[in-house]
Amino acid sequence: MTDGASTDGSSADGPSTDGSSPTVLAVDDEPDLAELYRIYLDERYDVRIATSGEEALEEMDEDVDVVLLDRRMPERTGHEVLSEIRGAGYDARIAMLTAVEPDVDIVDMPFDDYKTKPVTREDLVALVEVLLERAAFDERSQRFFALASKKAALEAAQSTDTEEYDELVEQLEAVRAEVDETLDRLSAEDAFVEVSTNVS
């Protein structure tokens, strides 16, 4: 898996542990669109494409770092593919990349980000870079980012006047407090180590 994205914008971002480029699986039931995503990302990443949910699951393995997943597909929906990927234990970062406007049903979906099509090359590259960067954080921080992405998606769709949105905000604040507490503790430990080193 990747160890995070590079921030200098050069070559491939965040090579995987074997020294290769990060692997992105782009899933869309429109073959031309899936191929376009490959063209957008091919210079930086090892890109696989799938044009159905079944094909996406066949292409999925431990080498995949990021999944760009269409939501509305025949036979096996993006939601079903998402559930199966998570159920199989893969820890790739997953973004729903779809023409479906988000609604409160996204609150319980285990994805990391949600983008509404169409997207530009710059949008897509930036999305993958952000997801690779998040992969370097711990599980709690990743949950914080995922909740924040859902909150932003619902606000963009003006779907905020619901109990689900209110519960999402409460979850986000609770996780934010946990993350802040961890960061404060780590900062204190770093300071203690620095003081001890200076004293000795």
How is the chain split into domains, by residue range? Answer: 23-137
d(CA 178, CA 145): 13
Taking the alpha carbons of 12, 16, 18, 21 in that order, is the dihedral positive or negative? Answer: negative
Write the class of the CATH domain 23-137: alpha beta
Give the mean model confidence (pLDDT) for residues 31-46: 96
Q: Is the dihedral of CA 16, 20, 22, 23 positive or negative?
A: negative
pLDDT top residue among 184 and 99 = 99
What is the residue type of 3?
A: D
CA–CA distance, 39 with 156 (Å, rounded to integer): 28
What's residue 89's pLDDT?
94
* Highest averaged pLDDT of the listed ranges 68-72, 176-180, 186-190: 68-72
What's the pTM value of the predicted model, to 2 decimals?
Answer: 0.75
